[in-house]
Amino acid sequence: MNWLQRGFATLTGVDKSLAGLTSIVPPSLKSGAPRTRWIGFGWAILACAFATVVALTLRSMLDPANLVLLYLVAVVLVAVRFGHKPGILASFLAVLAFDVFLVPPYHSLTVADTQYLLTFAIMLMVALIISHLTANLRHQALIAHYRERRASALFDLSKDLSAALTNQQIADIGILHLEAMFLAKAALLFSDRHGTLHLPAIQSDPSRLPADAMLDIAQQAHDQQITFGLSDTPTADNVVYLPLRAPMHTRGVLVVVPENPGQLLLPEQERLLQTCAAQIALAVERVHYVEVAQAAMVAMESERLRNSLLSALSHDIRTPLTTIVGLSSALASGRALTDETRRELAESLQEDAIRLSNLVANLLDMAKLHAGAVKLNRQWQMLEEVVGSALSMLSRALAGRRVDVTLPSSLPLLDFDAVLMERVFCNLLDNAAKYTDSNSGIRIAAEIAGGDVQVAIEDNGPGVPAGMEEAIFAKFSRGEPESTRTGVGLGLSICRTILEAHGGRIWAENRSEGGARFVFTLPLGHPPADEAPDPPESPKVDFPL
């Protein structure tokens, strides 16, 4: 019977391991609970009694050898439902009931035929084997169920951690899952760049860490990368300290205070806890390197903008300043100059001063717009007035070019800031003048499209470089990075910022016949009825500049 004893010992060990998994296995599946065991013994007695009643009913019709099967069925049912110990009791009760009620002389333990003793022995052995195999299958099913629940718990933890974006969220998710899985208090201590542990604010409840000395032990576990509190390194207070070891660095320490310390000493529970700690460590390291990558991207972008600004300013400010200094020196030298020469020097001086003023204005406008310091002075007014004002301001830059302005007669009043919209037209027209020949044409057209007014400014220049239709609206971005044309790449970015503040949008595209086309929209809104202007007699205005 050594094999039977070894089988019983194995099943007993399985019972103990399952009994410790209180947070994973439902209470109804804990075969090691005393109450469940006593209920199983009661059902073993009832099953054998029921089998005996049925056998007594069939005793006159069936041979006793066939009635043995009734008791074996009862043993199987008891072992499947309640485990091996109730199954053993059912096996002995089945043999006893069979002897007393089905073997002559009835109602006595004595037997008339000694051959029945062999029957009893074989019956008991078969019942015990069936009970053992059935109980073993039952426990294997319980173990499989536990493993399935453990895998599901790890999957849920991993899924929730994958969505965490900060250490605080990782702490919340980790504690929520760990306390449910292990019926324990848990705390996550994250280390800073100096290796010092810190407790997240959400875990500042003193009841979560009963003693300040736990922080010292946790720091020691972090520094030495040693796990304290499990079977290999037990602690006096039964608290578990697991370093959060990630592939690159140790990111902190997981502290677990179990309600039942013996539960975490089981091998399965130790592996589960260590797996959870590894998942949390990977999540913390992922968040750390995401923050590092974001900081690196911000630093790279800041450096790129700084270099672009310095490069543009060094060329576009130094050139007009040099010219202004030279021309002003010539005018102030006292040399005899003709009136025509003085006029030409004054015009050149004015032109460079205007260029420098526009550059500084763009820089200041961008700074104000992104700082939120500009408030829109919106009024209902005509778009034609802003277009005419912008053309007048750029009369020198557009000299020699033919500008066609086509506006519909049905164009209503629009609600916008005239100064800022004038800046939009100036930037777009100046951009068209830079990239076209002095004798080329520029067209300004507007139409009503849905609930917006759509304005287009077209030229016949080289067009927008392929793939840069959106990139040219970024700050310090230019269509020709190595171009000798003046500008720092802020004009289009300022236009987009102004139009978005008005509830519109802007985009660039190339014309099929050649050249670029910049289109922006402004909401129509609901202008006051009594201020509606009379439609112009001619929708087309020609500005030969």
The answer to whether position 310 is within a domain reads no
- Both 101 and 128 in a single domain? yes
Are both 349 and 380 inside the same structural domain? no
Q: Could you tell me the CATH number of the domain that includes residue 437?
A: 3.30.565.10
Quick check: is 476 in a domain? yes
| Residue 265 counted as domain residue | yes
Q: Are residues 426 and 512 in the same domain?
A: yes
Start-to-end CA span in the chain (Å) = 115
123 shares its domain with 224: no
How many other β-carbons are positioned within 10 Å of the β-carbon of residue 76? 18
User: How do residues 354-403 score in pLDDT, each as one tens digit?
Assistant: 777 777 776 676 667 666 656 788 899 999 999 998 888 888 778 878 88
CA distance 246 to 242: 12
| Domain end marker among 272, 288, 304 | 288
- pLDDT (0 to 100) of residue 39: 86
Digit-by-digit pLDDT tens for the chain (545 residues) are: 343 344 333 333 434 443 444 445 444 434 444 555 688 888 888 988 888 888 888 877 877 777 777 888 888 888 777 777 887 888 888 888 877 877 778 777 776 666 667 766 777 777 778 777 777 787 788 788 878 888 888 888 888 888 888 888 888 888 888 888 888 888 888 888 788 887 765 454 444 554 566 777 888 888 888 888 776 666 667 788 888 888 888 888 888 888 777 766 677 788 888 888 888 989 888 888 888 888 888 888 777 766 666 665 565 666 677 778 887 887 777 677 787 888 888 878 887 787 777 777 766 766 676 666 567 888 999 999 999 988 888 887 788 788 899 988 888 899 998 888 988 998 899 888 888 887 788 999 999 988 899 999 999 888 888 888 888 887 766 655 544 455 556 778 888 888 988 899 999 999 888 889 999 999 988 887 654 455 444 344 444 44
Instruction: Domain of residue 215: give its range.
Output: 165-288
What's residue 211's pLDDT?
56
Residues 181 and 58 in one domain: no
195 & 171 share domain: yes
In sequence order, what DSSP letters do the residues of 69-136 get, joined into one string?
A: HHHHHHHHHHHHHH-HHHHHHHHHHHHHHHHHHHSSSTTSS--SSTHHHHHHHHHHHHHHHHHHHHHH
Where is the domain boundary, 158, 173, 196? 158
Is 193 a member of any domain?
yes
Question: Is residue 365 domain-shared with residue 379, that is, in the same domain?
Answer: no
Q: Is residue 25 part of a domain?
A: yes
Q: Is residue 110 part of a domain?
A: yes
396 and 475 part of one domain? yes
- Does residue 266 lie within any of the structural domains? yes
Cα 459 to Cα 464: distance, rounded to the nearest angstrom = 11
Same-domain check for residues 340 and 382 = no
Q: Say if pTM beats, i.e. exceeds, 0.85.
A: no
Own/partner pairs for 16-20, CB < 8 Å, 24+ apart? 17/266, 17/268, 18/139, 18/142, 18/143, 18/146, 20/260, 20/262, 20/263, 20/266, 20/269
Domain boundary among 98, 128, 158: 158
Read off the pLDDT of residues 149-205 as tens digits, 9 standing for 90 and up: 888 888 888 888 888 888 888 888 888 888 888 888 888 888 887 888 877 654 544
For the chain, the domain total comes to 4
326 and 388 housed in the same domain? no
Give domain status of residue 295, yes or no.
no
Confidence (pLDDT) at 480: 56
CATH code (residue 281): 3.30.450.40
Same domain, 432 and 380: yes
